[in-house]
């Protein structure tokens, strides 16, 4: 996964998991740690679905 894809994926979970890091300044290793943390949190929740994820997604007007 490219750096751009990692940041976009993490930002899609921004509100759901209260991520407060400045992603553009994070190292690739730190981005990987954040992705792993998100993955573990999702596995720990029975009721997280795509529908719930979309509810919390940030909307960026063009």
Give the percent of the chain with pLDDT over 70: 60
Q: What is the pTM of this model?
A: 0.63
pLDDT digits (tens, 9 = 90+) for 10-29: 887 766 666 767 888 889 99
Residue 37 clears pLDDT 80, i.e. is over it: yes
DSSP labels for 3-50?
HHHHHHHHHHTHHHHT--S-GGGS-HHHHHHHHHHHHHHHHH-SS--H
Per domain, the residue ranges of the chain are 3-56
**The two structure tokens encoding residue 56:** 């919390």
Contact indicator for 3, 35 with CB cutoff of 8 Å: no
Say how far apart CA 43 and CA 28 lie, in whole Å: 23
**Per-residue model confidence (pLDDT) at position 1:** 81
């Amino acid at each position: 996964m490219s750096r751009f894809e990692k940041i976009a994926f993490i930002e899609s979970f921004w509100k759901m998991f209260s991520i407060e890091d400045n992603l553009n300044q994070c190292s690739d290793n730190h981005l990987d740690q954040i992705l792993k943390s998100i993955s573990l949190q999702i596995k720990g929740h029975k009721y997280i679905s795509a529908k719930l994820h979309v509810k919390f997604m940030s909307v960026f007007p063009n």
